[in-house]
Structure 1
Amino acid sequence: MREFKRDFSESGLRRSLFKRPLRSLGLLTCMLLIAMSSLFLWVTPTHAASYCQVTYTVTNQWTGGFGTSFTIQNTSDSNWSNWTLTFAFPASGQQVTQLWNGNYTQSGQNVSITNLSYNGSVPAGSTVSSEPGFNGSWTTSNPVPTSFSINGNVCTGSGGGGTPTSTPTNTPTSTPTSTPTSTPTSTPTSTPTSTPSPTPTGTPVTGGGHVQNPYAGAQGFLNPNYVAEVKASATSVGGTLGAKEAAVANYPTAIWLDSMAAVTGGAGYTSSLLDYLNAAETQAASSSQPIIVTIVVYDLPDRDCAALASNGELQIANNGLQTYEHNYIDVIASDLSQSRFSNLRVSAIIEPDSLPNLVTNLNIQNCADANSSGVYVQGVQYALNKLHAISNVYNFLDIAHSGWLGWNSNFQPFVNLATSVAKGTTAGVSSLDGFISNTANYTPTVEPYMTANQQVGGQPVRSASFFQWNTYIDEQSYDVDMRNAFIAAGFPSTIGMLIDTSRNGWGGPKRPTGPSTSTDLNTFVNATRIDQRIAKGNWCNQPGGIGARPVANPAAGFDAYVWIKPPGESDGSSSLIPTGPNNPTGKGFDRMCDPTFGGDALNNNMPTGAMPNAPVSGAWFQAAFDTLVSNAYPAFP
């Protein structure tokens, strides 16, 4: 199980203003093979003895954008220790926007791409490892470059070229020009003008269909393992609290596929994905409604690059992306696509924390590596492509939460990144059914007794020390504006939002019952907010409460409130637990889970507020469960 990421305040928290060092397409100087999928011509120039051979493939194209990949071969007689590719775009409106496995510069139409440390060495006769690729933009047309040079050598026979056989007319979609506000706006009713032309690949599951909101009219899957865990806990506690805890077993929670073994079973996992799907079929046999199973796809290479308590099993440097694609995603897709499960609905929560880290945490080396290698972007795109091809699977992309991306410097850059990732998939924006926020976090859905721009003592509420000038003080206002920004960026107006309400209730005897009467801003905010964390950046094992019960269509534009983090499972250990019986997979330790830690810039140098004696992430934490049930809002009867 994973803990959630730390928030970012106006000062220390949002340090990185989305300076993604777009990754590079390393190339060579020689003959050009121009391979264009589906809509495009394959052009193969002949060549004599040469320095290199390059295959430039347009993998996808949509209105105003396109994706490419490269295959680069050293056809010379000597080894390369590094390489630099240069070429010129034929049209003035063509631009590299996001590049992986390299570094690039662009001046006008001229592009220069250099290798990274891990893919610069190319033996004679070999191809570049970790081949580059990029997402780009265009205005009036997208012709293919016709001449390439490597290390200053013009590729022999590289003249000629190719152009798409069908170039769409570019009608740019509108993008927000004003700063997002925290006031919900009405849901747009118009259909976006940008409709990706490529169609999904793969064979969809027959019989399941695809509805607009998979949670509507469906019954949530009850994980038998979690139900048994909750009931055992309730029995051990007994009394009034035990009776309340037993009621938690009646609500659906997500299945976390946080490793390859979580998919296949074994290695400490009680059940496999197939076991869960079979159990869902058993539940469906006695239900008059479709069953929706929510899974969390969570195993990217160098996962959770800015945290220490939930790092994953795959590494970028150890063939991580290929392992992720073929030993993890392909296995999930194979299980889900079995025809016997076509009557189920499957909601896939795609890689919590991944893309948000590329917006705010590039000052951390692991995140910089994830960005420059392209593994987060490519891994997410691969997952979206494979799962979208299954008709009864619904993809929801993680968008962090208001306390992470709510500042203006983070908000729009994330929208741009997520939109670029989606448009780079086979089905474009149609590969996503919606977005989810607050995954495994504690931010309230609504702060009922104040608004972000409300004036107290001549200052807006959001300027208080707790909020650090964040535009958003709760999840609903953040999600409404995120949704509108995505629609403006080209997503359909039917796109839906989810909020994880498993631990954001903040009830109990300390919950405020109305606004403070104080005219001092910080006093007013601290006495009025239902979010009782010491600092909004605190994310590990907080003494919160279970929130709204899972429900479909809770508000306009929202598909559902869901429980993604099963209440009672730890975010991370409160001290280092060595590998052994209590930590069989060797999970790390993050000081933000230590109740004695005084904090750092990431939580405004405040105490962590974490509960003591916590086990490793994902393990059952009885004291936390007792607290969550005691502080539930609405309360359990």
Structure 2
Amino acid sequence: MGIQSAQAAAHVANPFVGSSPYLNPNYVSEVQAQASADGSSAEAKVAGYQTAIWMDHIGAIAGDSTHLGLQAQLDNAVTQAQSSSSPVLVEVVVYDLPGRDCAALASNGEIPATDAGLTQYESQYIDPIVALEGNSKYSNLRIVNFIEPDSLPNAVTNQSKSACATAIPYYEKGIAYALGKLHAIGPQIYNYLDIGHSGWLGWPNNMSGAGPEYAKVVQSATGGYATVDGFVSDTANTTPSDEPFLPNSSLTVGGQPLKSATFYQWNPYFDEHSYDEAMYNEFVSSGFPSTVGMLIDTSRNGWGGSARPTSLNSSPTTVDTYVAANKVDQRPFRGDWCNVNGAGIGARPQANPYGSGDHIIADVWIKPPGESDGDYPTATHTHGDPHCDPNGTQTDGNGGTYPTDAIPGYDIPAGNWFAAQFQQL
């Protein structure tokens, strides 16, 4: 323990280097049960990779009969650390803002977007998490917090939606509170803010608005820029890390740049790697220190199968046909996000996937592969999100209508085990 304690005491630039991953036993058992039922050794391997622990409602902190609470998870990590020569890294998703997911329905939260809701978020949700993570018996762990998926991206792009206009001030105050309290615990804590994905904030106007918005929120936190270690993209999404045959979004085909294709709609960032590099520059120019690191959730952004291109096809003569022939992202629409059909598990969690000189410091699995994104409304079940309806459609804001691309034949609430999706992934 002495060696391990000395290694873990310092706050490091990249906590994913030189650490041992903590595996959530609840997820491990889900995977093992499915793999056993299917007689699949390939499925069983998934249990060996780290996934994040979602604190997606107040009750998750204490846990229940089927899910370990945060204290039990951290206690398990301490036990693991006693036989580990390297610091044990635990990943926690902080996800319960007032008015959560104001532009979606499948993952709306339990706390209202009101002054009383903000007080509840701080006192009943953040404070108990801080008290647990701050217990001295966990001081030689590395605790990585992924802060409030989808929240500040909504602040950048969805101010015009009434639910978001109401919720966003509480997002900003709640996140600032969480960052300040978590950071104050000590050097074992690492905080990463969610930045959506390239198909959301990749357009120049959205990206230029992101830097100031995030800077405003972080500067209002006690501790300011020091409270944030970096940013994470593609949380619970399926956008590829790289489009290997579309490396240049300005490449001209038939007199038009590839970014003008219907699939990209003038968004110049086709994948998470290029997007995160650009967002890094945007954040640093907005005042964040150059030491911030970028993470990609690769849990479901691996596109494979017979439709995946294996080499460049340069013969198409229009941007739409060229993109269709060469993109690995097989969605009909980049806005499809709920239980997307045809997605696969992406790159395995690892530090420095592009080398130590790249701003992407790790691939992580935040969304546990095989847990549903959400269900959809029916005559007997009014809650849910139409985007999760396999027979539903959605629009791109420019007159285009697309299928949701949700896996057909299923209607499974968010977070519940989705066997068919896991098998497909």
User: What SS class does the counterpart of residue 363 from structure 1 fall into?
Assistant: coil
Deviation per CA, 1:489-534: give whole Å up to 9, x if none.
Answer: 2221111000000001101222111122211221111111000001
Aligned to 2:371: 569
Deviation per CA, 1:214-261: give whole Å up to 9, x if none.
Answer: 1111111111110011010001111xxx11100000000000000110
8 Å Cα contact 1:453/1:461 also seen in 2: yes
In 1, Cα distance between the equivalents of 2:34 and 2:380? Answer: 26
Aligned to 1:545: 344
**2:54 matched to 1:248?**
no
In 2, Cα distance between the equivalents of 1:623 and 1:406? Answer: 31
Aligned to 1:616: 413
User: What SS class does the counterpart of residue 344 from structure 2 fall into?
Assistant: coil
**2:264 matched to 1:463?**
no
In 2, Cα distance between the equivalents of 1:313 and 1:534? Answer: 32
Aligned to 1:261: 59
Decide whether aligned partners of structure 1 residues 333 and 244 sit closer, same or farther in structure 2, where only a CA change above 3 A counts. same
Aligned to 2:235: 439
Aligned to 2:180: 385
1:316 deviates by 2.0
Aligned to 1:232: 33
Larger radius of gyration: 1
Aligned to 1:522: 320
* TM-score between both structures, scaled by the size of structure 2: 0.93
Aligned to 1:416: 212
In 2, Cα distance between the equivalents of 1:619 and 1:346? Answer: 25
- The CA RMSD over aligned residues, in Å, is 1.7
Deviation per CA, 1:399-457: give whole Å up to 9, x if none.
Answer: 11110011111111111100111111221111100001111101100100012111111
In 2, Cα distance between the equivalents of 1:523 and 1:574? Answer: 33
8 Å Cα contact 2:24/2:51 also seen in 1: yes
In 2, Cα distance between the equivalents of 1:457 and 1:591? Answer: 37
In 1, Cα distance between the equivalents of 2:49 and 2:114? Answer: 40
Aligned to 1:316: 113
1:600 deviates by 2.4
In 1, Cα distance between the equivalents of 2:23 and 2:378? Answer: 32
Aligned to 2:396: 601
8 Å Cα contact 2:8/2:141 also seen in 1: no
In 2, Cα distance between the equivalents of 1:316 and 1:416? Answer: 23
8 Å Cα contact 1:310/1:588 also seen in 2: no
1:588 deviates by 2.9
8 Å Cα contact 1:301/1:312 also seen in 2: yes
Deviation per CA, 1:50-97: give whole Å up to 9, x if none.
Answer: xxxxxxxxxxxxxxxxxxxxxxxxxxxxxxxxxxxxxxxxxxxxxxxx
Letter in 2 for 1:412: S
User: What SS class does the counterpart of residue 330 from structure 1 fall into?
Assistant: helix
587-596 vs 476-485, greater mean Cα deviation: 587-596
Decide whether aligned partners of structure 1 residues 282 and 611 sit closer, same or farther in structure 2, where only a CA change above 3 A counts. same
After superposition, residues 97-112 of structure 1 pair within 5 angstroms as none
1:602 deviates by 5.3
In 2, Cα distance between the equivalents of 1:602 and 1:622? Answer: 33
Decide whether aligned partners of structure 1 residues 281 and 576 sit closer, same or farther in structure 2, where only a CA change above 3 A counts. farther
Letter in 1 for 2:185: I
In 2, Cα distance between the equivalents of 1:270 and 1:498? Answer: 26
8 Å Cα contact 1:301/1:313 also seen in 2: yes
In 1, Cα distance between the equivalents of 2:193 and 2:112? Answer: 22
Aligned to 1:589: 384
8 Å Cα contact 2:339/2:373 also seen in 1: yes
Letter in 2 for 1:235: S
Aligned to 2:4: none
1:574 deviates by 4.5
Letter in 2 for 1:467: Y
Deviation per CA, 1:544-589: give whole Å up to 9, x if none.
Answer: 010000001123112210000000000111454967xxxxxxx931
Deviation per CA, 1:274-319: give whole Å up to 9, x if none.
Answer: 0110111222223222111110000000100000000000002371
User: What SS class does the counterpart of residue 276 from structure 2 fall into?
Assistant: helix
Letter in 2 for 1:389: A
In 1, Cα distance between the equivalents of 2:335 and 2:22? Answer: 32
Query: Paired residue for 1:481, among 266, 270, 278?
Result: 278
Letter in 2 for 1:544: A
In 1, Cα distance between the equivalents of 2:206 and 2:323? Answer: 24
8 Å Cα contact 2:114/2:170 also seen in 1: no
* TM-score between both structures, scaled by the size of structure 1: 0.63
**2:165 matched to 1:368?**
yes
Letter in 1 for 2:32: K
How many corresponding residue pairs?
410
Letter in 1 for 2:255: G
Aligned to 1:507: 304
1:207 deviates by 6.8
**2:18 matched to 1:222?**
no
In 1, Cα distance between the equivalents of 2:359 and 2:337? Answer: 27
8 Å Cα contact 1:445/1:501 also seen in 2: yes
Aligned to 2:3: none
Deviation per CA, 1:171-206: give whole Å up to 9, x if none.
Answer: xxxxxxxxxxxxxxxxxxxxxxxxxxxxxxxxxxx9
8 Å Cα contact 2:8/2:142 also seen in 1: no
In 2, Cα distance between the equivalents of 1:299 and 1:576? Answer: 25
8 Å Cα contact 1:577/1:616 also seen in 2: no
Which structure dedicates a bigger proportion of its chain to helix? 2
**2:100 matched to 1:298?**
no
Letter in 2 for 1:332: I
After superposition, residues 138-287 of structure 1 pair within 5 angstroms as 208-238=9-39, 242-266=40-64, 270-287=67-84
1:264 deviates by 1.5
Deviation per CA, 1:83-112: give whole Å up to 9, x if none.
Answer: xxxxxxxxxxxxxxxxxxxxxxxxxxxxxx
Unmatched runs of 5 consecutive residues or more in structure 2 = 1-6
